[in-house]
Structure 1
């Protein structure tokens, strides 16, 4: 079976690239070892999640059935889960890569430009708050209105905070406030340049910029804040969207659907048994030694277990779980793989609860008038009206735990909790999913995932018994828990000159930052797309390096130096009526 491109893995980046290549007119085969779409970003039912965890548990007696599963076991460690599943287990959609999507960014742009937005749906994130103490949260001022309404800030603090927000929302590059301070730790920058106190500085750093630790540099943090501030108002008051049915896994499936509508061939549940690279003759180059000669036939051969025919293609796009970096011609284990400094291993917890989290702002109690000691006027036995606490249940929200928030928890990194409920179509009525992420700055072995994350889970559960509730109300007990450590994939940089002439394109490592995953995967997909197009068209590599997901804001070079790419002028071609009508053929 001959194709232009074979894509291994249906993760978000691979799925976006496959859809773009199919819409550009290339013949694409898309393969996944799993029976579901999404790869490391999949959205699973609880039944599937339990099977996923059991297959990757290192203490499993079963030997890995494929090299893919062996690599997955190396990347997912310290796995422990509840032995029983709650009822309605198939009505959950649990994300392996919890995320929130900014309303302005490359991912939303691709959803709209590709037409995939018609396959999915989103809801606005209701709230971002900081955990303060058992039962209480600290509100995060993310707009002028929030600052003016805050009762926890003095007039001077409000002025300073407003000055910073106006600065961060504008074109701050080259401004005197930033000059020479681009790499300064962001918390230090906020305190020294804008004289912000610890409380508002922590709120900005960890809940607006989503910094991982106190040493995160200033310029990337400011760029994230600007994106989020400008995102507010596009679809509603919140700058963030949460995907229905588990988020990115459903989105990846939407891109796969688009690829299939445009002729892509999909093969799921078939382990890859081998990839045979082309002979040296097939990789001959022209006399200028830079422009590869397009082969007259497909040269890479992908073999699948229990599949009669091999898949042949000129270019292979692959997750590193299917093809290690050493698959690249001339690559070595020490020189061909890398993990960006901004990509960390992450301890994760997934918990199912049957009581909602109730956000009770700390400032409401700080400002509440004291209770009178004298008996109030009125009829004997009549209770005086007490000031009400503005508590509210959340269906979809983010709760941030800055470093040093909890005893026996991390003193160096911030943890983020994403709660999703019935409103996001990810849980049945009366149930909520808590997804906790804690980046680990050190790769050295240490406490288990459960030991690392249990303090955060216990603290979050105190919010299910708000102060306004009866003293008899107890915090919720989880119906199900899963703990594990997610290690990032090691992959070569697309801009590495040593890999410039390879027809095997391996997906770069992607950030695990909650609001940045979707945009980073989209940027990786676009870089992979243009590299595949160059190889397929036999054009010269551009003089400018292809940006990785860390090089945000830089234009992706796509014209291959002086060569035109035969009518392929953009990542996504314009939508037409046929694109809309063909969706019904799926």
Structure 2
């Protein structure tokens, strides 16, 4: 019987990141996946014919170009340039396996139109998102957030960050409803209205993060890997292998062996692998997770840039929930041939949101209309699972399902939380300060 410190089931991005971190810290790790490829639920599909087959759609026409030129992410998400995932990449030096391009811009849907989220002082002055007086008030809020330091009360300006709600903070700066919506959903990236009556410290942190990320590049705060997200789990798998990690793909998991309520081994294709801890994707332990919602994603293949995005080869579009009388935002992420994920001149736009009715596709109809004409679309509705317990008793640590947002910040919170529960220590990313940059193309 082979013995390991940790066994990981599934090669989704979260599992691969944790595998890399654990291997790097000296743990003996075995990684098992029932699929013959990396990525799990968040894999990149190539060639294009595989995507059509997965969704049971007839083969693509010749107008789609060569199938091998496509790398389609099933769950596309952008990186904030100064966000947690970039810090993890720098900390582990996985950036050496990846190249990035800056996303062309971020947009917000308001009153039936798509508007660019200002990325510069000049764009802010010219933007019709905010009135003249709104711009001054918004700038004051922005300066307050940038100067705010939770460790130095003198920066609070009489705002108690743990007691003052975000609603009260916005009122203090005399922000109107339009500015509140724009700030909360396009910059602080809140996807519902629940933030309004919560302490404002989190919203201030998010505004600052967005601003700092925007400061890294001139067009938007987001970056995206060339060849798509499929490169990420493979990058962390390489990191794990460098430190002695073992990978078994295309292997069924027969049983998780328990003793006195604690995991002791995993049985795979008749072979027993002993372990002290187990990390896994929800799909491997259906009896240890509960359903908390559903997410619809519609992958759309286009032969044109999205209208009103200044011919952007990549962009984010957010439709705030209030614009369509919903409870949660709708997200549209757009990437193209410029990222080596599609044939020349082709685009991939993915619409996602949390399902609220019995007719999920109708919920995203407004978003799909913004993308017309659509050459081909692929619709999926998936359940969202969260673990029943923290895993400390059983030593089985289960990740949360991917949410509907089109950025990685909430997923990184789950990674950090799991790391803390597994190791008993905080994930310290201070080492990332040694590495000041990653490979990115501004063009």
TM-score, normalised by the number of residues in structure 2? 0.84
Change (3 A) 1:572 1:303: farther
Match among 169, 192, 195 for residue 216 of structure 1:
195
Change (3 A) 1:226 1:302: same
Alpha-carbon offset, residue 239 of structure 1: 1.7
* Structure 2 counterpart SS, 1:359: coil
Change (3 A) 1:396 1:574: closer
Q: Which runs of 5+ in 2 are unaligned?
A: 435-443
Change (3 A) 1:338 1:345: same
Match among 169, 172, 196 for residue 175 of structure 2:
196
| 1:316 aligned onto 2:234 | no
Map of 1:155 onto structure 2: 132
d(CA) in 2 for partners of 1:323 and 1:253?
23
Alpha-carbon offset, residue 8 of structure 1: 0.3
Map of 1:412 onto structure 2: 327
Match among 412, 432, 445 for residue 347 of structure 2:
432
Match among 248, 251, 256 for residue 275 of structure 1:
256
d(CA) in 1 for partners of 2:376 and 2:182?
31
d(CA) in 2 for partners of 1:574 and 1:119?
16
Change (3 A) 1:182 1:150: farther
Map of 1:500 onto structure 2: 392
Map of 1:423 onto structure 2: 338
Change (3 A) 1:354 1:318: same
Select the structure that is richer in helix.
Answer: 2
Map of 1:48 onto structure 2: 50
**How many equivalent residue pairs?**
422
- Cα offsets for 1:300-333 (capped at 9, x unmatched): 232223xx5322222221112112354xxxxxxx
- Cα offsets for 1:345-372 (capped at 9, x unmatched): 3221110011112426xxxxxxxxxxxx
The correspondence of residues 277-296 of structure 1 with structure 2, limited to 5 A, is 277-278=258-259
d(CA) in 2 for partners of 1:255 and 1:416?
27
d(CA) in 2 for partners of 1:575 and 1:202?
34
Q: Which runs of 5+ in 1 are unaligned?
A: 55-81, 284-298, 327-336, 361-391, 462-475, 534-541, 543-555, 559-569, 577-586
Map of 2:268 onto structure 1: 304
- Cα offsets for 1:353-398 (capped at 9, x unmatched): 11112426xxxxxxxxxxxxxxxxxxxxxxxxxxxxxxx2011101
- Asked whether the 8 Å contact 1:11–1:252 carries over to 2, the reply is yes
- Cα offsets for 1:148-194 (capped at 9, x unmatched): 3436644322211211111222316563564488674x5x5576332
- Asked whether the 8 Å contact 1:84–1:480 carries over to 2, the reply is no
Match among 164, 189, 192 for residue 141 of structure 2:
164
Q: CA RMSD in A?
A: 3.1
- Cα offsets for 1:92-141 (capped at 9, x unmatched): 2222222111111321121112121011111111111123577x522223
d(CA) in 2 for partners of 1:573 and 1:504?
28
* Structure 2 counterpart SS, 1:276: strand
Change (3 A) 1:574 1:235: closer
Map of 1:231 onto structure 2: 213
